[in-house]
Structure 1
């Protein structure tokens, strides 16, 4: 369950420039948020890998845009669904975002599952605020999610059950942006701004119909360091600490 919570926390929060502060831009002008771009990433200790393909972007202005994304997630921990993918719509309005879509497992997976996922972000995807500047304060952020899944023994067969997760959440406390430091990323060293905060993570209320059981939310408090890299317009690395365990979510490729 610890790895499950950390996977959720990671996913609910994917050239060298000497002046990192001057390189930043508003979210909808992010260099990765362009049709045809693909982001790949991983969570350490062989926990999970993910990819995000930008299918299309409709831009109203620098703070308002809509994007169609294809998201794939492979989990290597002992989770019910090891791999899933689907299309999502990202709506950005000022300093808030909404991510809605559907995940399905592979056709040959057992059990086969189709799930609808809705994520509300009081904040932005891969970025804490519209513009990140050293010394500025970052307000508290919260990402919440609900998911409903239909489970099948195999694709094409009658439904054998259903499961739901309600009010899973990742709440980040207010923080201050630190001074730029060089970070060794998968794309080479680049100046990045550290943002350190405490985060409360709740796994949400979990229900599955096969046993009729409802599991109460499991809550944890994590120490988080998010490394925002202005040139790429996203957090290239996020470190999570819980008791004696630590996990790192890092972007491994942007192309």
Structure 2
């Protein structure tokens, strides 16, 4: 059984961190005033045209002094892994301050061959999750590089709670180059036609250092180049579609509903 079948939440979080975009650009709200960052808010989407799905529920938002805040999120997701549809959900805490943000929590899912998986994920970014800048000005034609980093501990067990294996992943990351903001144009989204801006950049995706009870020694980090195009749509304050190209493969993540 390959180790990557047990790290679905880590790859998913990288995708969601990139996908869910900005607040209303015209109002230039700071991150903690983003209109989608509200109690009982919900963002739904799909992966590769419906082969996978995700839903983010925002349960509670607490605003502190200045631009600091934190939110409790519930994330549900399913995706095909090794020929089976893996379903899971988990609770996460998003912490935001003037220096950036962190996202931490656990993700439980039904594993392969009737097993149960639990993944504990801690991730951080030298910027802001769900939004590329604390304040987004309309005149921006570029955005600085960002690095998303994450650690995870994944355990697999039988339904009787008998443990099978443990996987630790340290310092997985997605390092982007400077991001180019293109001219606004009309595109078709899964919520209808919208006027959106393309944001393009290249980057490096690393699997991190992997330690597993099924692997005799630690597996070295595997790095691969990626090219990303995000379509940011000001009317919704979100990146409504994202294409990630890795080698000859293209992965698409798209928002299908926001309320």
TM-score normalised by length of structure 2: 0.84
From 30, 36, 50, the equivalent of 2:40 is 36
Alignment CA distance shift 1:140-1:26 (3 Å): same
Query: Matches of 2:82 and 2:50 in 1, distance apart?
Result: 11
Equivalent residue runs for 1:94-109 within 5 Å: 94=98, 96-106=100-110
Alignment CA distance shift 1:77-1:152 (3 Å): closer
Q: Structure 1 regions of 5+ residues with no counterpart? A: 15-19
Question: Does the aligned pair in 2 maintain the 1:63–1:95 contact within 8 Å?
Answer: no
1:13 maps onto 2:18 in alignment: yes
1:128 maps onto 2:132 in alignment: yes
Matched with 1:72 is 76
Question: Does the aligned pair in 1 maintain the 2:72–2:94 contact within 8 Å?
Answer: yes
TM-score normalised by length of structure 1: 0.85
Deviation at 1:86, TM superposition (A): 0.7
Matched with 1:189 is 193
Instruction: Show structure 1 runs of 4+ deviating over 4 A.
Output: 4-9, 106-109
Q: Structure 2 regions of 5+ residues with no counterpart? A: none
Count, aligned residues: 248
Query: Matches of 2:166 and 2:247 in 1, distance apart?
Result: 33
Query: Matches of 2:12 and 2:120 in 1, distance apart?
Result: 18
Measured against aligned partners, the alpha-carbon deviations of 1:26-75 in whole angstroms (never above 9, x if no partner) come to: 22222211111111112216553211100000123673210000011212
Alignment CA distance shift 1:107-1:44 (3 Å): closer
Greater Cα offset, 83-92 or 39-48: 39-48
From 144, 150, 157, the equivalent of 1:145 is 150
Alignment CA distance shift 1:6-1:114 (3 Å): closer
Alignment CA distance shift 1:55-1:46 (3 Å): same
RMSD (Å) for aligned C-alpha atoms: 2.8
Deviation at 1:106, TM superposition (A): 4.2
Question: Does the aligned pair in 1 maintain the 2:102–2:129 contact within 8 Å?
Answer: no
